[in-house]
Amino acid sequence: MRPPSILALVVSTATALLAAGCGGSGVSPDVARVASQTTAVTTTSSQNGLLAFSQCMRSHGITGFPTPDINGEIPKRQVVQASQNNPSHFDAANSACIHLVPNGSLAPQETAQQRRTRLADELSFARCMRNRGIARFPDPTAQGQLTVEMVQAQGIDVRSPAVLRVVQACLPASHGELTATKVREAISNAHG
């Protein structure tokens, strides 16, 4: 979905082009040409950083690194494939080129609504854990951070079969925010 400002520009540009194409409106062909160029520049300006990043990755030896698609996104599957095809050079190329990416990350930026939803899902999971007998299970931080270390700090043995059964029972309360795979990875990467 395009941001409203781009959509408004496209609509106003389309109106200008329609008026220019219909004749009798007094709009010169130069106005129509400028309007269409403005639309092209505006819609592609959000992709320029990712396009430059893609070109940089290829110039650093990452053959097959994808170009942003029509939605201005770089397909994750193709990035993974390019990294597998160039494993020894990928990290170095990424370090050299990441400054070209808007916001410094290929990850989609979380909206305020997505952040609120994620936090609500994590709170729901924490309440479920407490309701099922893990009384000291912590709530996530205001930023939505809920780590294994935070749980362990409350004296909870995250590897205990009893705790893991409650985790499994409460995963649906997170509405997909937490999965068995994410939990296993977090526990295996935890210290202690």
pLDDT in tens, 130-143: 999 999 999 999 88
Can you give the residue ranges of every domain in the chain? 4-104, 112-189
Prediction pTM value? 0.48
How many Å from the N-terminal Cα to the C-terminal Cα in the chain? 44
Q: Is the pLDDT of residue 121 over 90?
A: yes
Instruction: Look at residue 73 in the predicted model and tell me its pLDDT.
Output: 79
Instruction: Look at residue 105 in the predicted model and tell me its pLDDT.
Output: 66
Instruction: Look at residue 18 in the predicted model and tell me its pLDDT.
Output: 35
Instruction: Look at residue 51 in the predicted model and tell me its pLDDT.
Output: 87
Residues 143-181 pLDDT 10s: 888 899 999 999 999 999 999 999 999 999 999 988 999
Instruction: Look at residue 33 in the predicted model and tell me its pLDDT.
Output: 38
Residues 48-106 pLDDT 10s: 788 888 999 999 999 889 988 887 778 878 888 888 888 888 888 888 988 888 766 66
Taking CB atoms within 8 Å and a gap of at least 24, the contacts of 125-133 are 125/170, 125/171, 125/173, 125/174, 125/177, 125/178, 127/173, 128/169, 128/170, 128/173, 129/166, 129/167, 129/170, 132/166, 132/169, 132/170, 133/166
Question: How far is it, in rounded angstroms, from Cα 87 to Cα 166?
Answer: 39
Q: Is the pLDDT of residue 114 over 90?
A: no
Residue 13 in contact with residue 36, Cβ under 8 Å?
yes
Q: How confident is the model at residue 5 (pLDDT cuts 50, 70, 90)?
A: very low
Residues 10-57 pLDDT 10s: 333 333 333 334 444 443 343 333 333 333 333 354 467 888 889 999
